[in-house]
Amino acid sequence: MNLPPLDPPARILLGPGPSEASPRVLRAQALPLVGHLDPYFVQLMDETMNLLRQVFGTQNRLAIPVSGTGSAGMEAAFVNMLSPGDRVVVGVNGVFGERMCDVARRCGAQVHRVEAEWGQTLPLETIQSALRQHRPQVLALVHAETSTGALQPLEGLSEAAGETGALLLVDTVTSLGGAPVEVDRNGIDICYSGTQKCLSAPPGLAPITFSEVALARLKSRSTRVQSWYLDMSMIEKYWGGERLYHHTAPISAIYGLREALAVVLEEGLEARYLRHRRNAEMLWAGLEDLGLKLVVDRARRIPSLTTVYSPDGVAEQDIRKKLLERYGIEIGGGLGPFKGRVWRIGLMGESSTQRNILYLLAALRELL
């Protein structure tokens, strides 16, 4: 069989993920393989952990990339922290809060939902009330809800959780590298993300970090972690000083992540956050100038992901199709109750440029 070589089309990735990858990252992933216990790779593992600590804003000993996408990071967080019968309070204001509930139930946990309308965030007082009522082992929230574009404030959550002995678990898949997360400053015990959004590496790894308190909770479990593959009590021995074999790490993907983290830190976290914010504000102004209505109030918008209502009488999927076919621009459609009603526009990492914004706005102006 003679198949032609791969030749994917050139796209401008302005959807909810993946974002465009830096050429440095793509070059890194094409470098020669070494073994997953080769001294060079072992050194690279240590370097990657150190870079992750800086981007997460933590001194945690365990800050590693899970071998799997962001959803694997979510599952790793829950299966390690929850045992059958445990209680968990989950903030639900979009698809990924719903997914948290599903994963927690599969761990055998009692799930107590704290809900807000899609596009809204959860008031701290409502979360505190649920914590006092249910006294859970874990409080879980999505920092940047990709399905709605709403950014959940992190202030006060750790103190609220600590009053009832709960660990704070936070999804930062769409915020890490694009908005401040500050794991230690915000008292987050378990924090996971993905590589394909603001970090601008290909999908396939899920950065995750556990506090010492969370690791102590893991070690004190009376039952085994239900997932062998995601059991951090074993994985940490591979990434730690023992280098005890657990699974064959995705070497090329970790090459790419290491390079992506280097790009992030060379730009500087504060400069990167400012770029995402300024470009988001430029996009918001341009969309409003086209007469479009944004879903989330300005104070609660994610800088890297904007949701905007499609105009009445316009088939939103037709506009997305034409953007892709005529201009090579990808944006996302709505999920759940937003399906057929909104567009989701990502300005993440390498994709967050003024040039991309101007091109998208010009294309939308012509199509609308």
What are the structural domain ranges in the chain? Answer: 12-16+269-367, 23-265
The pLDDT value given to residue 242: 86
What per-residue confidence (pLDDT) applies to 148? 98
Contact 147, 337 (CB under 8 A): no
Return the pLDDT at 278.
Answer: 98
pTM, 2 dp: 0.97
Structure confidence at residue 118 (pLDDT): 97
Q: Which residues of the chain have pLDDT under 50?
A: none
The domain defined by 23-265 carries CATH number 3.40.640.10: yes
Q: Could you tell me whether strands 138-142 and 150-151 are parallel, antiparallel, or unpaired per DSSP bridges?
A: unpaired
Cβ pair 201, 350 in contact under 8 A: no
CA distance 238 to 118: 40
Alpha carbon separation from 271 to 44, 63, 175, 280, 284 (Å, rounded): 26, 23, 15, 14, 20
CA–CA distance, 313 with 276 (Å, rounded to integer): 32
90: tokens are: 């989950």
Task: Give the residues across from 66 on adjacent strands.
Answer: 206
Q: What is the pLDDT of residue 229?
A: 97
Report helix, strand or coil for 268: coil
Residue 347 to residue 343: CA distance in whole angstroms: 13
Contact 317, 340 (CB under 8 A): yes
Distance separating alpha carbons of residues 324 and 331, to the nearest angstrom: 8
Model confidence over 150-181: pLDDT tens digits?
999 999 999 999 999 999 999 999 999 999 99
- Tell me whether residue 69 is exposed, middle or buried, using C-beta atoms within 10 angstroms of its C-beta: 0 to 12, 13 to 18, 19 or more: middle
Q: How far apart are CA 143 and CA 199, in angstroms?
A: 16
CA 192 to chain centre: 7
Instruction: Determine the length of the chain.
Output: 368
Homologous superfamily, domain 12-16+269-367: Aspartate Aminotransferase, domain 1 (3.90.1150.10)
Helix H segments across 57-145? 70-81, 95-106, 124-134
